[in-house]
Structure 1
């Protein structure tokens, strides 16, 4: 008695593959449209390779090329900025403060604003930068 084994011919099922591809297309279409809106005045920000994600409750402090301070889109002096930030932190202790200096702003101006923010209770101010994609061959030393 000889045992016969029938070999099944393998076949590729296209319907599940089409379903997966359709889901991926819809996923990327939906999530590519959810771009976060930038607030504040338009500036030329320094470039950075590795930055964290922005939080939902953020306050944007901008410094333009003429070293003018902006709270959102409104021009303020250092005293008014400190008072507004103090009120923001009193309302929500989790508020993140993002400093967006123009690339041409002197370093001491940025430090002066950071010092003012620290004096009203901002523990970890964030620096706003533009994301930059650099290939590995063009990266400066120390940024690997």
Structure 2
């Protein structure tokens, strides 16, 4: 007894697993590159300084935008609640560095007001962020 010949199916290339692997590798590189970039907070234009020094202490980033809004990290903080917000980030009896990242367009008086407010806290050291001067 002879069985009928079955037509041979043509070989197929299934690219779905290949696409999954490519997207997994792409996602890995995107996520790992986020850790290589230094995220200091909101994008602002820092003033330049030749004598600026990097700070290595435990720090809290305080940003003053060009519009005069104050942010701790990326969260908006009203100026009347600034003292309490910083106090929660730096426990009593410990030393903490508050880096003030003020936009170049912010009036000097507002930066001084913020600094004066923060100097009321014990153990808080203040620093002003700048960008390296261009030669």
Partner of 2:5: none
What's the RMSD between the two structures over aligned residues?
2.1
Separation in structure 1 between the aligned mates of residue 93 and residue 124 of structure 2, nearest angstrom: 13
Separation in structure 2 between the aligned mates of residue 91 and residue 123 of structure 1, nearest angstrom: 10
**Structure 1 contact 45–101 (Cα < 8 Å) conserved:** yes
Partner of 1:42: 43
* Unaligned residue ranges in structure 1 (runs of 5+): 1-33, 135-144
TM alignment of 1:93-112, pairs within 5 A: 93-112=94-113
Runs of 4+ off more than 6 Å: none
**Structure 1 contact 43–101 (Cα < 8 Å) conserved:** yes
Alignment size in residue pairs:
101
Partner of 2:54: 53
Larger Rg: 2
TM-score scaled by structure 2? 0.66
Separation in structure 2 between the aligned mates of residue 67 and residue 109 of structure 1, nearest angstrom: 8
Higher deviation after alignment, 51-60 or 66-75: 51-60
Deviation at 1:92, TM superposition (A): 7.1
TM-score scaled by structure 1? 0.63
Query: In the TM superposition, what whole-angstrom CA distance separates every residue of 1:60-93 from its partner, at most 9, and x where no partner exists?
Result: 0000111000111111112322112112221672
